[in-house]
Amino acid sequence: MKRRMHKSILRSFITVLLILALTLQPSVFVFAAPDNISSPSYILMEASTGQIIYENNADERRSPASITKIMTLLLIFEQLEAGKIKLTDEVTTSAHAKSMGGSQVFLEEGEVQTVDTLIKCIAVASGNDASVAMAEKVSGSETEFVAMMNERAKELGMENTHFTDCCGLTDSDDHYTSAKDVALMSKELITKHPDIYNYTKIWMEDITHVTRKGTSNFTLSSTNKLLKQYEFTTGLKTGSTSKAKYCFSATANHNGIDLIAVVMGAPDFKVRFADAKTLLEYGYSVSHLYKDENKDKLSAMKIENAIEKEVPVAYRGEFRYLDIEGNDLSAVEKKIIMEESAAAPVKKGEKAGEAAYYLNGNKIGSVDIVFGKSIERAEYKDYLHYVLRYMLL
C-alpha cells in the first residue's frame, strides 16, 4: 500500500515538473557565462551584427602569429572581387617566398601555382611561403602588401593592430593585434567573402608540386582541429609561435547564426580549441537572431518643386538584431518613419526616412529608407517645356 502511494506521489511530482518545463518562458532560463576559459584574451562576436556577446582583455595588444593571415586572405579576396586577379592566374614563387620558415608547403623558387591553390595552402595548411607568394602577386612585394594590410586595418577600425609581415612569422614587437581586432577582420572576411568557406572547411587535400626536380604530391592538412571536434565549425585560422603562444579565430554557423570566437595566448594547442568551443557553445545557448529582409514594397513619396510627382523609395538593406537575454522576438514591432513629401532636388541613395524596430517599448535599431532615383529641382523653363509638350500631344 505504501509502495503504491509513493509511486503515485512520484508520478505526480514528475508531472508537475513536466508542466512547469513546458509552460515556463525561455527568458526564465539563465545560461551562466563560461568561467573555465584559460586563454588570457578572448572575444565572442556575432558576425552579421558585429555584436559582442562575451569578452575578456579583448583590446590587449598581443602577438598574433599566423592568424595574421586572416588579413592576407581578406586582401586576396578583395582583389578577386575587384577583378584585379583571378583564381586561375598563375603565380611564380620567388626566392624570398621560398625562404620562409615555420609552417610551409615547401614551394620551390620558380615553381608555378594558381591563385586558387595558394589560397588553399594559406587557409588549410597556413603556408608562410604561399602567403608571401600571394603578397608579391598582389602588390609586387611583401613590403607593399604589408602597407595595404595596415591601411585596411585602419579602415576597419582595428585600433590595436600593426603588421610588419603578411604571415605572422615575425617575433617583432611592432607586429601586434588584439582579439577584438582579429574578430573585426574575421567578420569582414566571412560576411563579405563567404567563398572563403570553400577553403577553410577543407580537412585534407593534395596539391601537386612541379619543379626542376620533377613532379610530386603534397598533402595539405588543416591546422583547424575544431573541424573534427565541433560539428558547426566553418573556419577560420590558427596561429602559434613561442612569442604568441597559441591563437585561434574560430567561426561557426548554427541555426542561421554565424559566430566568431577569438582566443589569444592560450598555453597549448588543446586549450585554444577547447576555449573556442566553450565560447561558441555558450554563444549558441544564449543567441537568438531577429531578421527582417525588408522585401515588402514601399509606396512612392510625393516630390515637390519637380516635374515628376513622385519619387520611388526603398530599404537600404535588411535588418538584424541579436538577442542574448531570452526576449520574445515575435514581439518586435516595425514602424515606418517618413515624411509625406520631399522637396527636389533629391539624390539616389540619400536617406528619405527609416524603418525603426522596437522591442518591449525600446528602440533596438533601424534601417534607412532611401530615394530610388535622383530628381533635380524644376526651373521655369522645365515647366514651360512640360506645358508645350502636353499641348502638342
pLDDT given at position 16: 47
27 is catalytic: no
pLDDT given at position 27: 41
Q: What is the largest CA-CA distance in the chain?
A: 105
Quick: pLDDT tens for 5-64: 454 554 555 454 444 444 444 443 446 778 889 999 999 999 999 999 999 999 999 999
CB 167 within 8 A of CB 69: yes
SS3 164: coil
Beta sheet of 41-46, edge-to-edge order: 52-56, 41-46, 257-266, 245-254, 233-241
Residue 102: name the closest of 80, 122, 87 by CA. Answer: 122
What the block records as the C-alpha cell of 2 is 505504501
Half-sphere exposure of 260 (CA within 13 A, CB side): 28
pLDDT given at position 172: 95
- Cα 44 from Cα 42, distance rounded (Å): 7
What is the residue whose three cell numbers read 572576411?
189
* Residues in contact with 269: Cβ distance below 8 Å, sequence separation at least 6, in sequence order: 225, 240, 246
To the nearest 10 degrees (0 to 180), the angle between helices 142-155 and 69-81 is: 90
66 is catalytic: yes
Of 39, 41, 63, 69, the catalytic one is 69
What are the backbone angles phi and psi of residue 52, rounded to the nearest 5°?
Answer: -85, 125
CB 220 within 8 A of CB 38: no
pLDDT given at position 25: 43
Please, what sign has the CA dihedral across residues 203, 206, 211, 213?
positive
Of 39, 63, 66, 178, the catalytic one is 66
pLDDT given at position 288: 97
Of 41, 94, 126, 139, the catalytic one is 126
C-alpha dist (Å) from residue 71 to 65, 119, 135, 284, 325: 12, 13, 11, 26, 33
- Cα 303 from Cα 309, distance rounded (Å): 5
CB 273 within 8 A of CB 62: no
242 is catalytic: no
pLDDT reading at 212 higher than 90? no
Q: What is the pTM of this model?
A: 0.87
Quick: pLDDT tens for 96-153: 999 998 999 999 999 999 999 999 999 999 999 999 999 999 999 999 999 999 999 9
